[in-house]
Amino acid sequence: MCPTERLLDAAGHRRSPVTMPGYHQGRPPKNKGLRFPADPPTVEEIVAVMSATGNGADGARLRALIIVLWRAGLRISEALDLAETDLDRSRGAVVVRAGKGGRRREVGMDRWAWGQLTSYLEIRATLPVGALFCVIHGPTAGRRWEASAARKQLRRTAEMAGVRRRFAPHQLRHAHAVELAHEGVPLVVIQRQLGHCNLGVTSIYLQGIDSSEIIETVHSRPAPVISATSGLRAAR
């Protein structure tokens, strides 16, 4: 096979050399060593991005992806690896067949989130069987949606929505963890939902809790309670 043929995809379009096997070998990623603080978007920002996705099939797919990342707390790779059969609406469960480290787990997703998926699932049912989040148009329809394309569409939509902060898939997962903590969900349940091996990793996700909330919570603690007799003895 000549080099030109190797750089054509299934639709006959020219492929970028970046997509070829071995291209990244020996090339350190641009974000190597960078550490981003836990900075989860607010509910208002997430809803604004969902509203900016538009009414087409591409918009419905992005809204569905946001829902799965935000309301089920999945990693972007886990979401894009989902098959249609991994959704169990009757139980409110999503099956992650190969999470980080190849571990399988089931996670929950709330009723509101399932309702938000309906429009995309109707579109998905008209396409070839395959990945839940797939290519919608052209000869490759039904194939897995690539993470790079999903990230690009999410970033552009956030800009259109006027969200003036970094808006990446993993931040939606952070938002999920922080919201569960606010709702009083036990830390061990959050750990299982996110698929973490230990609670230490889960606690990092909760660093997105605003410091003013911590101050207000501690400041409003009740005074220590002591018995009346203890007080009288101290007063002598």
pLDDT, tens only, 59-75: 999 999 999 999 999 99
Which of 20-24, 87-91, 120-124 shows the lowest per-residue confidence on average (mean pLDDT)? Answer: 20-24
Length of the chain: 236
Say whether 30 is catalytic: no
Which of 28-42, 50-64, 107-121, 161-175 shows the lowest per-residue confidence on average (mean pLDDT)? Answer: 28-42
Q: Spot the catalytic one: 89, 100, 144, 151.
A: 100
Stretch 149-155: mean pLDDT: 96
Domains delineated in the chain: 37-209 (1.10.443.10)
Cα 100 to Cα 194: distance, rounded to the nearest angstrom = 10
Say whether 97 is catalytic: no
Say whether 205 is catalytic: yes
* pLDDT tens digits for range 198-224: 776 777 767 655 555 555 655 565 666
Q: Spot the catalytic one: 63, 124, 174, 196.
A: 196
Q: Spot the catalytic one: 75, 143, 155, 192.
A: 75
Stretch 180-194: mean pLDDT: 86
Residue 137 has pLDDT above 70, yes or no: yes
pLDDT of 155 reads 96
Confidence of residue 46 (pLDDT cuts 50, 70, 90): very high
Confidence of residue 36 (pLDDT cuts 50, 70, 90): low
Cα 150 to Cα 155: distance, rounded to the nearest angstrom = 9
- Over its C-alpha atoms, the chain yields an Rg (Å, rounded) of 23
Stretch 142-151: mean pLDDT: 95
Alpha carbon distance, N-terminus to C-terminus of the chain: 98
Say whether 173 is catalytic: yes
Cα 160 to Cα 48: distance, rounded to the nearest angstrom = 9
If you average pLDDT over every residue of the chain, what do you get? 83
Stretch 181-193: mean pLDDT: 86
Say whether 23 is catalytic: no
Q: Spot the catalytic one: 71, 124, 173, 176.
A: 173
Q: Is 215 helix (H, G, I), strand (E, B) or coil?
A: helix
Stretch 119-131: mean pLDDT: 95
Q: Spot the catalytic one: 89, 143, 155, 170.
A: 170
Say whether 152 is catalytic: no
Residue 2 has pLDDT above 50, yes or no: no
Distance of CA 131 to the CA centre of its chain: 17
Stretch 25-35: mean pLDDT: 63
